[in-house]
Amino acid sequence: MRSDADIKREAEAQLKRALPLSHALIGVRVDNGAATLEGAVQWSYQRVRAQSAVARLSCVVGVSSQITLSPKAPPHEIRAAVESAFRRRDALDSARSVQTPYSAGNRKDNVRSWAQR
């Protein structure tokens, strides 16, 4: 059986491989082979990836996550950015419209790629 210090070292190395840019935000505590992840990350995928990376280790009995989410931007700024992106997309789509002749007349559709034309 491996010591808790060895398991912790291996779990930290696994976190570094799984999350090379944000692994330092997550701490690992090991007690009798059970790992507990602690810290705060910006995105949910980071929390999920950290937990699954440590759970893949064969020496870990179980993994519990106490990782919290703390986004840098407040929700109203995120909403404004998403709405702005939708407006830009709509403006681009309106510039890419195509008219196709049909027997009943002309039809105008928005297309996103040359293959759809």
In a domain, 95, yes or no: no
- Provide the 10 A C-beta neighbour count for residue 87: 10
Instruction: Assign residue 16 the CATH number of its domain.
Output: 3.30.1340.30
Residue 112 per-residue DSSP state: S
In a domain, 113, yes or no: no
In a domain, 18, yes or no: yes
Question: How many domains is the chain partitioned into structurally?
Answer: 1
In a domain, 110, yes or no: no
In a domain, 39, yes or no: yes
At 52, list the tokens.
Answer: 């699954």
Q: Domain residues for 56?
A: 4-69
pTM: 0.63
One pLDDT digit (tens) per residue for the chain, 117 residues: 789 999 999 999 999 999 999 999 999 999 999 999 999 999 999 999 999 999 999 999 999 999 999 988 888 998 999 999 999 888 877 666 555 665 555 555 666 666 655
- Cα 18 to Cα 86: distance, rounded to the nearest angstrom: 31
In a domain, 101, yes or no: no
Give residue 21's pLDDT: 93
Give residue 73's pLDDT: 84
In a domain, 27, yes or no: yes
Tokens 């106490």 locate to: 66
